[in-house]
């Protein structure tokens, strides 16, 4: 019987089949339980074994065959679909690869690899598309450091150090180029990287691709010039002058520039014009305009061994993070310390670099030595001294004599026997002392030093320095510290802040006072200047103060009033002042005592000339009431005796 007829008989609508299944030997209900385990296991195995095809009926075989046929059909269709899909994808990939390949998009930068600062330079950015498909939304992004100044053009949109140039569509199998022009303003030897990035999307594709090229340029010169002038030869211990000339040769200004110097060992800084803005070696130039120039003159004393070369270095540039100095231009000069048969040196108070206050005594020691191969006779030691800031009436010249007309102290063999004959390798010393004046009055002068120049000469040896027989000299500068004066005045009757309450103060009654605090500064400028005034517990600050241009703060928890003066120029005795109001209610235990309004005052600052910290601390002082005003030239924080209440 054919399978189709069998299928019709099995599944036809008009065929009624008895679908009840007859019992077989494999029906669990027909199994006889065997008490023996091994026999039972054997029967169970037989029940689970696959049924042989011979045991199936014809109808059942037909059903199985139909199902296998359907399954094989669907498997064949599935594999066929997968193969067709893979074939289609392969065709699409092949077509896509033929239309677009990233490697066929090329970009490059060409131009001079060595350039000079300030000169206009042009670079060519070339790009090409060797694909069969065009590129959409193409943009060229040109990036560069701050030292390269791009000239506007090519419809570029400049954002900081990026220039975006829209290219639009780049057609298939086409190429193009963009010219980029600008100027370099870097330091000599700088390596400046330029980068060009092409951003695009293949047509009908949303993905954005990038292709980048980089080009490094060496800057062969600087837009700023920097020159140092220094003596070629110098005897040890002599004055030295360094002259720094700098200029901007470009057509743009440079912001926040500084000049930084590095001095040789054995150099003692004395002064400069203009004065340094940071320490003794940094000058703030600020905005340096196109074609501008500047000059710095530095004075000092240079000491060293014979034939030693002393190098001074300098640069102009800017500070960049963690104190790193980036130089646009730099320069170096050397000075040779020439040989001298005799040497001389001086110290003051045992030092060669010192700053003193008014009234301090200066004790000089001058040492001399014969470093030659021949002895010398009748040597003379002299010290030129500037008496302007000194109390010459208290000069002690030792074994020498002071010539007031020539302003020089002289030592000869008659007073110092070792000068009579100074053998090779022999040495000796002379000394003198003189105090700084207690009160120095200056007009328009700052950064004052006491200068002394020590010399030794002999007729026996000609000098390499000059025909005047002076064969060695040494210069020493003693810097004078800034002179600061602090004063207070406590007033009851005051036009700025009217006061109230009983005078003298009484127990249990509130009395207010006005305090005038002033400070003077002379000789040197100060920075980071501040005054801290402590008010005793029970004294209240009203919150009122005059001279609103000054910065005053008050801490209620510590009762501390702080006046921030900041930079305080030498004012030649002209004071800076603040006025503030306080109030107090005396308690019974203060009867008969002087009422303290300011218990402690501390002045701190940094001297810009000596580079030293200044600290002046004053405690309360006793003062008597004179009318309604109490005044003391140095410090006053008290009022009259407290009285009992009526």
Q: Over 70: is that where the pLDDT of 23 sits?
A: no
Least confident of 2-11, 118-127, 619-628: 619-628
Closest by Cα among 252, 257, 317 to 117: 252
Share of the chain above pLDDT 70, in %: 79
Tell me, yes or no, whether 91 lies in a domain: no
Q: Is the pLDDT of residue 337 over 60?
A: yes
Stretch (H or E) spanning 459: none
**Count of domains for the chain:** 4
Where is the domain boundary, 163, 196, 219? Answer: 219
Residue 320, domain member (yes or no): yes
Query: What pLDDT shows up at residue 242?
Result: 96
Structural domain ending residue among the three candidates 289, 315, 337: 337
Query: For tokens 């010398």, what's the residue?
Result: 376
Distance CA 142, CA 111 (A): 14
Residues 269-279 have a mean pLDDT of 88
What's the pLDDT tens digit per position in 172-193? Answer: 899 899 898 888 877 777 888 9
Identify the three-state secondary structure at position 552.
strand
201 and 108 part of one domain: yes
The token pair at 224 is: 């700023």
Residue 41 has a pLDDT of: 47
Q: Is residue 26 part of a domain?
A: no
Distance, in Å, from the CA atom of 485 to the CA atom of 614, rounded to the nearest integer, reads 12
User: Do 108 and 131 sit in the same domain of this protein?
Assistant: yes
Band the pLDDT of 155: cuts 50, 70, 90. confident
The answer to whether residues 204 and 134 belong to one domain is yes
Residues 252 and 311 in one domain: yes
Residue 71 lies in a domain: no
Asked whether residue 281 is assigned to any structural domain, the reply reads yes
Residues 213 and 232 in one domain: no
Asked whether residue 11 is assigned to any structural domain, the reply reads no
What is the rounded CA–CA span in Å between residue 167 and residue 198?
Answer: 9
43 vs 29, 34, 259, CA distance in Å? 13, 9, 108
Give yes or no: residues 472 and 501 share one domain: no
Domain that holds residue 142: 103-219
CATH number at residue 463: 2.60.40.10
**Domain harbouring 497, CATH code:** 2.60.40.1170
Q: Does residue 92 fall inside a structural domain? A: no
Q: Which of 445-454, 455-464, 574-583 has the lowest mean pLDDT?
A: 455-464
Q: What would the pLDDT profile of 397-431 be if each residue is shown by its tens digit? A: 999 999 999 999 999 999 999 999 999 999 999 99
Confidence (pLDDT) at 535: 93
Do 258 and 115 reside in the same domain of the chain?
Answer: no
Q: How confident is the model at residue 353 (pLDDT cuts 50, 70, 90)?
A: confident
Task: Please name the residues in contact with 573: beta carbons below 8 A apart, sequence gap of 6 or more.
Answer: 520, 522
360 and 291 in a common domain: no
Structural element, H or E, at residue 95: helix 58-99
Query: Is 376 in the same domain as 469?
Result: yes
The CATH number linked to 200 is 2.60.40.1530
Residue 341: what pLDDT? 81
Q: Is the pLDDT of residue 129 over 60?
A: yes
Confidence of residue 156 (pLDDT cuts 50, 70, 90): confident
Regarding whether 249 and 185 lie in a shared domain, the answer is: no
Average pLDDT, the chain: 82
Helix (H, G, I), strand (E, B) or coil at 597: coil
Q: Are residues 130 and 185 in the same domain?
A: yes
12-21, 37-46, 85-94, 622-631, range with greatest mean pLDDT: 85-94
Bridge partner residues of 301 (DSSP): 239, 268
Q: What pLDDT score does 204 carry?
A: 79
- Cite the beta strand spans of 58-190 per DSSP E: 105-110, 114-115, 120-129, 135-143, 148-150, 157-159, 162-170, 174-184
By the 8 A CB rule, do 287 and 265 touch?
no
Q: What is the pLDDT of residues 485-498, one digit of tens each?
A: 898 889 999 888 98
Nearest residue to 628 via CA among 496, 489, 533, 509: 489
pLDDT at 1 over 60: no
Which range is least confidently modeled, 69-73, 204-208, 587-591, 612-616?
Answer: 69-73
In a domain, 596, yes or no: yes
Domain boundary among 290, 319, 337: 337
How does residue 606 score in pLDDT terms, banded at 50, 70 and 90?
A: very high
What percentage of the chain carries pLDDT values higher than 90?
A: 41
Any idea which of 203-207, 497-501, 535-539, 574-578 has the lowest mean pLDDT? 203-207
Whether residues 181 and 245 share a domain: the answer is no
pLDDT-derived band at 468 (thresholds 50, 70, 90) equals very low
């Amino acid at each position: 019987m054919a399978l189709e007829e069998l299928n019709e008989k099995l599944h036809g609508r008009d065929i009624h089949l008895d679908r009840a299944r007859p019992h077989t030997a494999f029906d669990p209900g027909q199994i006889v339980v065997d008490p023996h385990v091994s026999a039972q296991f054997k029967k169970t195995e037989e029940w689970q074994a696959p049924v042989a095809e011979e045991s199936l009926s014809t109808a059942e075989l037909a059903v199985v065959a139909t199902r296998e046929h359907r399954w094989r059909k669907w498997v064949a269709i599935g594999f066929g679909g997968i193969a067709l899909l893979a074939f289609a994808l392969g065709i699409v990939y092949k077509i896509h690869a033929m239309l677009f390949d990233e490697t066929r998009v090329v970009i490059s930068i060409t131009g001079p690899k060595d350039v000079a600062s300030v000169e206009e330079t042009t670079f060519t950015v070339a790009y090409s598309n060797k694909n069969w498909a065009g590129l959409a939304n193409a943009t060229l992004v040109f990036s560069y450091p701050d030292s390269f100044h791009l000239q506007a053009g090519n419809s570029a949109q400049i954002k900081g150090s990026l220039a975006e140039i829209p290219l639009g569509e780049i057609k298939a199998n086409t190429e193009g180029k963009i010219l980029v022009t600008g100027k370099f303003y870097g330091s000599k030897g700088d390596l400046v990287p330029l980068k060009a990035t092409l951003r695009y999307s293949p047509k009908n594709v949303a993905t954005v691709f990038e292709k980048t090229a980089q080009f490094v340029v060496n800057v062969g010169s600087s837009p700023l010039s920097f020159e140092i002038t220094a003596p070629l030869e110098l005897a040890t211990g002599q004055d030295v002058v360094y002259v720094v000339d700098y200029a901007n040769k470009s057509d743009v200004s440079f912001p926040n520039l500084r000049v930084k110097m590095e001095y040789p060992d054995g150099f003692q800084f004395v002064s400069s014009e203009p004065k340094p803005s940071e320490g003794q070696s940094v000058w703030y130039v600020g905005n340096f305009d196109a074609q501008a120039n500047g000059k710095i003159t530095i004075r000092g004393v240079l000491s060293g061994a014979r034939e030693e070369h002393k190098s001074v270095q300098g640069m102009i540039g800017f500070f960049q993070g963690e104190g790193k100095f980036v130089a646009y231009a730099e320069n170096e000069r050397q000075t040779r310390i020439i040989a001298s048969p005799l040497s001389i040196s001086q110290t003051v108070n045992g030092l060669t670099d010192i700053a003193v206050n008014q009234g301090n005594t200066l004790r000089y020691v001058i040492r001399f030595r014969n470093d030659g191969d021949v002895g010398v006779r009748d040597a003379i030691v002299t010290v030129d001294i500037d008496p302007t800031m000194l109390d010459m009436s208290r000069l002690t010249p030792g074994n020498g004599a002071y010539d007031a007309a020539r302003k020089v102290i002289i030592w000869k063999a008659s007073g110092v026997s070792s000068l009579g004959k100074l053998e090779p390798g022999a040495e000796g010393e002379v000394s003198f002392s003189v105090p700084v004046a207690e009160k120095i009055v200056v007009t328009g002068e700052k950064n004052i030093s006491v200068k002394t120049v020590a010399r030794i000469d002999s007729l026996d040896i000609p000098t390499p320095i000059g025909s005047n027989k002076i064969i060695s000299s040494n210069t020493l500068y003693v810097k004078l510290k800034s002179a600061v004066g602090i004063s207070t005045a406590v007033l009851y009757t005051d036009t700025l802040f009217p006061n109230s309450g009983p005078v003298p103060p009484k127990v249990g009654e509130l009395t207010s006072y006005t305090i005038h605090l002033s400070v003077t500064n002379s000789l040197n400028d100060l920075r980071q200047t501040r005054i801290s005034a402590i008010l005793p517990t029970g004294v209240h600050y009203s919150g009122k103060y005059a001279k609103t241009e000054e910065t005053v703060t008050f801490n209620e928890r510590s009762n501390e009033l702080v006046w921030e003066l900041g930079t305080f120029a030498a004012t030649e005795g002209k004071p800076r002042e603040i006025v503030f109001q306080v109030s107090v209610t005396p308690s019974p235990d203060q009867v008969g005592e002087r009422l303290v309004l300011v218990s402690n005052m501390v002045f701190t600052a940094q001297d810009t000339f000596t580079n030293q910290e200044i600290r002046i601390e004053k405690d309360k002082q006793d003062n008597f009431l004179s009318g309604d005003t109490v005044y003391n030239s140095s410090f006053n924080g008290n009022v009259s005796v407290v009285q009992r209440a009526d």
